[in-house]
Structure formats: structure tokens, C-alpha cells
Amino acid sequence: KAGVTQTPRYLIKTRGQQVTLSCSPISGHRSVSWYQQTPGQGLQFLFEYFSETQRNKGNFPGRFSGRQFSNSRSEMNVSTLELGDSALYLCASSPSSSFLALNGEQYFGPGTRLTVT
């Protein structure tokens, strides 16, 4: 099976702009999670979707949003970019069997490296 793919891999934006990142999960995985990774903060949970429904959300401002499509592909959007949004954004898919199932193992994509100048 193909792994998790993320596009684009690298992105440079200026403050105030918005950005959309894309994630294609492993075929058959209905759970997709997003994380922000910075050297000082480790892996910060953004949100998780299962079959197009957001099941959980981390403590990020409303500028960070996401969605999941019927084919399980997911996007996250960051509006009004700030310098502090520079980070590696990781997407992970998981073979959770149902909406009420706890997350199993996560398969991470290579990430999108976002630089805000």
C-alpha cells in the first residue's frame, strides 16, 4: 500500500497570508490527524477527523482549521499567518475501525515544512 502523502512538501509564505495543506491517507484509513512540530514544542495536536467528522481538536486558535472529504483526504488551512506558525506540519492516518474506536497506530506522512517570513 502507498504511504501517507502530503503536499506541498515545502512552502514559504509571508505574514498575513493564508495557506492550505493537503494530506492523502493510506487507502482504507478513515482517521486523519494533524500535528504541528517545532523544535521547542514537540508534536502539538491540531485536530483529528474520522469519516468527515472532527472528533477532537487541540488548543490552537481559530485561524487553524481543517476538513476531511468523503475519500478520506484531508486539508488544513491556516489563515492570517504569523511568524510563529513556521513549523513542520505532519499528517497521520490510522486504521480506526469505527467512530467510537480509539486511535490505533498512526502512520505519518513526510510533512509540509512551512516557513513564514
Partner 1 sequence: GQQVMQIPQYQHVQEGEDFTTYCNSSTTLSNIQWYKQRPGGHPVFLIQLVKSGEVKKQKRLTFQFGEAKKNSSLHITATQTTDVGTYFCAGTRGSTLGRLYFGRGTQLTVWP
Q: Which residues contribute to the site for partner 1 (CB under 8 A)?
A: 31, 33, 35, 41-43, 45, 48-50, 54-56, 58, 90, 92, 99-111
- Cβ nearer to partner 1, comparing 9 with 15: 9
User: What's the rounded Cα separation, in Å, for the pair 78 and 100?
Assistant: 28
Q: Provide the edge-to-edge strand list for the sheet that holds 64-68.
A: 5-7, 19-24, 74-78, 64-68
- Min. distance of Cβ 30 from partner 1 in angstroms? 11
- Cβ nearer to partner 1, comparing 49 with 64: 49
- Cβ nearer to partner 1, comparing 81 with 111: 111
- Min. distance of Cβ 19 from partner 1 in angstroms? 19
- How many other CB atoms are found less than 10 A from the CB of residue 65? 16
- Min. distance of Cβ 45 from partner 1 in angstroms? 6
Phi, psi (deg, nearest 5) at residue 88? -95, 125
- How many other CB atoms are found less than 10 A from the CB of residue 84? 8
